[in-house]
């Protein structure tokens, strides 16, 4: 089963695609570019949602729901937003079908043409700020801290499961504030929430920073982001948090009366992470045998495989397993007993390895005699025999250890693949090798574009609180005061 | 504040609309027929989702996610499904916009016309059964028990917040089974899950039964439903569970190899409840002062309003309240301390009444002296003074009592408004009065339609396990063996 995966070294991209499909995370649908998220994949996404949702609520945010459709004219209101966003979109033009007069199925009813086309939301700033206009009158109505979990559609030409699909699931926060400082603070707060989630839950170390103007969100004053480094040396943007200034407030005329009784435009942020995180999770930790899931996000943390020849052996093992499962569940550990009699242990081992279950127990007649269990770690593939006494506590510690170890491994990988380049030749060589390349840049969009054209590398971010250091732009030699991070990216 | 609600007796429909808006549940958006679900309304919906989701999982279902768009041709595959469903739909015809050559905003790019139009899902049977074809090969793959939480779009001409909107949120279960009996069992299991949820969580008593052929889901062999009775004597369908037979399996060619190594079409069910339940919740319990929420679904179960003149009094009250809140939270009770100094107690009382918080505490200087609190029940508006000793336990009991009492009140109302009609004149008079009318019907679609044309009443359901009783159809006098339930409905 696991053998069917293309090895990473042979074709990383094929390995990723194989893995997503064979581990039952997702698959392509009959609708071009749209995926089906399968139950096992969705269970991981649900865990992500649940953790993130708690983090948002703990920081004072509430959920709400805004319409899927946005009137076309709304997109024209914020000038740079329309440039960046309203182009590759699904457009609803009609609201009725009818029977084909020739009797061949159904056709669009041309009498049911909308006066104004509706755009399937690619992001919801426009419809939300149109709504906020009625919600915000006074400083008492601020801050407004709202998040929505939703599906969005962007008509991508080249799609890849989780990483880039025409429809994807995400959360989008949209907040309104009385002051600029407060809005910036909010954007940074969320960046820290995202960082904590990526590192502590997904086990994916991320760099934090600001996007260069070329890479900024259409309509933002500043875009904060977190970037992870995948095993093939390419960067993956894992989340963004935008300080929108007063751009949307001005476009949608959202003013408030201050304490001093003056009228001012509201300050805004928006921020989101999406099912793309599933791609980051897969690509950060998994190996040629399949998924490696961080215990905190694994739908099944421990799988128990019985080793038996005769039904009475299975019976005896099952009785023992019942007690073990009770003990593990009592500690909040999710555990599955794979007692299928249609598959052999070897097949089951490969299947659960493919699906990334962090810990596997194998338990046979001899274990019953010795009160032991064979415990295998998915991340290192190491096995050991453990006494069953206090097994709950032992597994709890092991899961914590695996969680840390997965993160540390990814962090070590990133460290080994982070480089400084001080000349153009050095830069080109390092970018070809893959990884994050810290280099000086003269700050101009033109230079950024030239570097991209020549190397396919983009500025992933300008580090936050990065070390100030005088240097010269690797391309133009113009002076620079800080290194920025370049990489090829997804 | 609450005074602004139109009384129910004056205009029930206006009362409902006022209430949904003023209690901050939802509002109309700039997109015709689509609503914005506001944070307070969404918090209630989230509670509903969370309970239902647990109930589905406890009964063996998993979540997944399928595409928003469905190729137009898919709808033509199941003949009756296309008749009932694929007409009033949002149709995506293009995938790109461009700058208007005349410089006026953006226009649809006619070069980006889709070869085949995509329909925004009105329900997902078609895309899901297209997917199941690849997931199901053998009896080992069955049953397949999947649910999805999603938004759907049906282009309704007359919309009302929560009750009928062009876009709404729902869950849709889609299951596949090896046998007919197992599929019917599943449809009935879910009907019972829905019933439990409506009665035990929402406090809404419902009748269970089967739809008549006229009211059946397009593509179903049988549609099971639960129906509630609203305070204006109209019925509201609260959930449906469909036994689909092999209709979709045949339409999408989904076969499986049986244990006996034969090939058979798969048996199916689908089932759903939606944000319409929010409408049922509002209309079942609320009054002219505002919402009445069942404690189990109230985002805030207890609100504490301090009564004070001087800041030092508020200070003393706040200290006392801190202990009370700790005690309540320790019992899992959600509690809010409304210490705003910008509003007077009377205003706050009205506001929390409008928002349906089940229990209100008022606590002033005299209460501090006596170690007491004034406790008001939202449902009965009764007040009593309670000693603060064991207040957590007292409130827990009170919340349970309110939950039961709300349900009992709705049940009494339904009993008082359930009638038997044995003649056509009696029937017409009772239907005009409102409520459920149990009457004999000859079983024909034609009679059902005539009754509807003359009285606007429809058959809400044919009771499950209803009493067999010989009688004559109220309209035609033809023989009948069971009374069915008629009502005017939402």
In a domain, A15, yes or no: no
Same domain, B216 and B271: yes
pLDDT at A104: 75
SS3 assignment, position A319: helix
Same domain, A224 and A334: no
Q: Is B67 on the interface with A (CB under 8 A)?
A: yes
From chain B, pick out residues whose CB is under 8 angstroms from the CB of A88: 95-96
- State mean pLDDT over B319-324: 97
In a domain, B95, yes or no: no
Domain count, chain B: 3
In a domain, A315, yes or no: yes
Q: Is B46 on the interface with A (CB under 8 A)?
A: yes
- State mean pLDDT over B190-207: 98
- Mean pLDDT per 10-residue section of chain A, whose length is 490 residues: 80 97 97 96 98 98 98 84 77 93 85 96 96 97 98 94 98 98 98 98 98 91 98 98 97 97 98 98 97 98 97 96 97 97 94 98 97 98 97 98 98 98 97 97 96 97 90 96 97
- φ, ψ (nearest 5 deg) of residue B124: -110, 10
pLDDT at B3: 56
- φ, ψ (nearest 5 deg) of residue A447: -65, -45
Same domain, A429 and A409: no
CA distance B370 to chain A (A): 35
CA distance A462 to chain B (A): 32
Q: Which residue of A has its CA nearest to B115?
A: A32
Reported confidence tier of residue B85, pLDDT bands at 50, 70, 90: low
Q: Is B368 on the interface with A (CB under 8 A)?
A: no
Q: Return d(Cα A170, Cα A166) in angstroms, integer.
A: 13
Same domain, B427 and B309: no
Same domain, A211 and A71: yes
Which residues make Cβ contacts (< 8 Å) with residue A395, sequence separation at least 6?
A302, A328, A331, A333, A359, A375
Domain that holds residue A407: 297-413
Q: Return d(Cα B6, Cα B12) in angstroms, integer.
A: 8
β-pairing, B26-28 with A458-463? Answer: unpaired
Quote the longest CA-to-CA distance of chain B: 83
Over chain B, what is the mean pLDDT?
A: 95
Q: Which residue of A has its CA nearest to B86?
A: A97
Same domain, A277 and A301: no
CATH number reported for the structural domain that contains residue B436 in this entry: 3.30.110.30
At which of B285, B315, B330 does a domain end?
A: B285
In a domain, A114, yes or no: yes
From chain A, pick out residues whose CB is under 8 angstroms from the CB of B39: 62-64, 146
Q: Is A37 on the interface with B (CB under 8 A)?
A: yes
At which of A223, A256, A285 does a domain end?
A: A285
In a domain, B18, yes or no: yes
In a domain, B87, yes or no: no
| Cβ–Cβ below 8 Å for A93 and B88 | no
In a domain, A84, yes or no: yes
Q: Which residue of B has its CA nearest to A72?
A: B106
pLDDT at A169: 98
CA distance A407 to chain B (A): 28
In this complex, the residue of A39, A67, A95 whose CB is nearest that of residue B155 is A95
Q: Is A32 on the interface with B (CB under 8 A)?
A: no
Q: Are B24 and B352 in contact (CB under 8 A)?
A: no
Count Cβ–Cβ pairs < 8 Å, chain A vs chain B. 190
Which residues make Cβ contacts (< 8 Å) with residue A434, sequence separation at least 6?
A232, A233, A234, A417, A487, A488
Q: Is B157 on the interface with A (CB under 8 A)?
A: no
- State mean pLDDT over B219-245: 97
Q: Which residue of A has its CA nearest to B37?
A: A65
Q: State the pTM of this model.
A: 0.96
Lay out the sheet containing B113-120: strands in order across: A69-71, A113-120, A91-94, B91-94, B113-120, B69-71
Same domain, A276 and A332: no
Same domain, A220 and A180: yes
Same domain, B425 and B443: yes
Q: Is the pLDDT of residue B230 over 50?
A: yes
Q: Is the pLDDT of residue B2 over 50?
A: no
At which of B285, B317, B337 does a domain end?
A: B285
pLDDT at B1: 47
Same domain, B161 and B268: yes
Q: Return d(Cα A462, Cα A439) in angstroms, integer.
A: 10
CA distance A371 to chain B (A): 32
Q: Return d(Cα B387, Cα B383) in angstroms, integer.
A: 13
Cis peptide before B143 (omega within 30 of 0): yes
Beta pairing partners, B118: B71, B92
| Cβ–Cβ below 8 Å for B71 and A150 | no
pLDDT at A100: 83
Q: Is the pLDDT of residue B465 over 90?
A: no
Q: Which residue of A has its CA nearest to B24?
A: A135
In this complex, the residue of B37, B76, B131 whose CB is nearest that of residue A65 is B37
Which residues make Cβ contacts (< 8 Å) with residue B324, sequence separation at least 6?
B304, B335, B361, B373, B388, B391
CATH number reported for the structural domain that contains residue A379 in this entry: 3.40.50.800
Reported confidence tier of residue B437, pLDDT bands at 50, 70, 90: very high
In a domain, A37, yes or no: no
- State mean pLDDT over B301-306: 98
Q: Is B278 on the interface with A (CB under 8 A)?
A: no
Same domain, B242 and B315: no
CATH number reported for the structural domain that contains residue A118 in this entry: 3.30.930.10
In this complex, the residue of A69, A88, A105 whose CB is nearest that of residue B31 is A69
Same domain, A243 and A323: no
Q: Is A138 on the interface with B (CB under 8 A)?
A: no
Chosen for mutation from B91, B142, B155 (greatest number of chain A CBs closer than 10 Å) is B91
Q: What is the dihedral of CA A187, A193, A198, A203, to 10 degrees?
A: 150
Q: Which of residues 314-343 of A touch B (CB under 8 A)?
A: 342
Chosen for mutation from B92, B130, B166 (greatest number of chain A CBs closer than 10 Å) is B92
pLDDT at B74: 92
């Amino acid at each position: 089963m696991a053998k069917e995966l293309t090895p990473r070294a042979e074709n990383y991209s094929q390995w990723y695609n194989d893995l997503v499909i064979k581990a039952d995370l997702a698959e392509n649908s009959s609708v071009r570019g749209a995926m089906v998220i399968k139950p096992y994949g969705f269970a991981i996404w649900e865990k992500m949602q649940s953790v993130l949702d708690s983090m948002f609520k703990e920081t004072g945010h509430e959920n709400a729901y805004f319409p899927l459709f946005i009137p076309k004219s709304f997109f024209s209101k914020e000038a740079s937003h329309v440039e960046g966003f309203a182009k590759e979109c699904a457009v609803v033009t009609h609201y009725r079908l009818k029977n084909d007069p020739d009797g061949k199925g159904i056709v669009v009813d041309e009498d049911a043409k909308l006066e104004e086309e509706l755009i399937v939301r690619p992001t919801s700033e426009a419809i939300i700020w149109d709504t906020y206009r009625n919600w915000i009158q006074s400083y008492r109505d601020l801050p407004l801290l709202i998040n929505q979990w939703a599906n969005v559609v962007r008509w991508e030409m080249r799609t890849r499961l989780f990483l880039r699909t025409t429809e994807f699931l995400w959360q989008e926060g949209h907040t309104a504030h009385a002051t600029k400082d407060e809005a910036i603070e909010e954007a940074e707060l969320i960046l820290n929430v995202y960082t904590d989630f990526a590192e502590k839950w997904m086990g994916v170390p991320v760099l934090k920073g600001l996007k260069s103007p070329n890479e900024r969100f259409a309509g933002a004053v500043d875009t904060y982001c977190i970037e992870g480094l995948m095993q093939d040396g390419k960067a993956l943007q894992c989340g963004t948090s935008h300080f929108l200034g007063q751009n949307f407030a001005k476009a949608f005329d959202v003013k408030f009366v201050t304490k001093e009784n003056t009228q001012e435009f509201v300050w805004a942020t928006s921020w989101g992470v999406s099912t793309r995180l599933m791609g980051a999770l897969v690509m950060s930790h998994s190996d040629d045998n399949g998924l490696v899931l961080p215990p905190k996000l694994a739908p099944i943390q421990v799988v128990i495989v019985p080793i038996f020849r005769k039904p009475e052996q299975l019976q005896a093992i099952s009785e023992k397993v019942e007690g073990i499962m009770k003990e593990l569940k009592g500690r909040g550990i999710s555990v599955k007993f794979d007692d299928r009699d249609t598959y052999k242990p070897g097949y089951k081992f490969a299947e659960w390895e493919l699906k990334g279950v962090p810990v596997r127990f194998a338990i046979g007649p001899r274990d019953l005699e010795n009160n032991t269990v064979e415990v295998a770690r998915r991340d290192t593939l190491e096995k050991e025999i453990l006494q069953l006494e206090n097994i709950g506590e032992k597994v709890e510690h092991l899961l914590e250890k695996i969680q840390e170890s997965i993160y540390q491994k990814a962090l070590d990988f990133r460290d080994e693949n982070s480089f400084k380049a001080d000349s153009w030749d050095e830069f080109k060589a390092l970018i070809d090798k893959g990884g994050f390349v810290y280099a000086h840049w003269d700050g101009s969009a033109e230079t950024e574009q030239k570097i991209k054209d020549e190397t396919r590398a983009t500025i992933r971010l300008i580090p936050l609180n990065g070390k100030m250091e005088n240097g010269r732009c690797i391309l133009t030699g113009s002076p620079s005061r800080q290194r920025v991070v370049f990489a090829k990216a997804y």
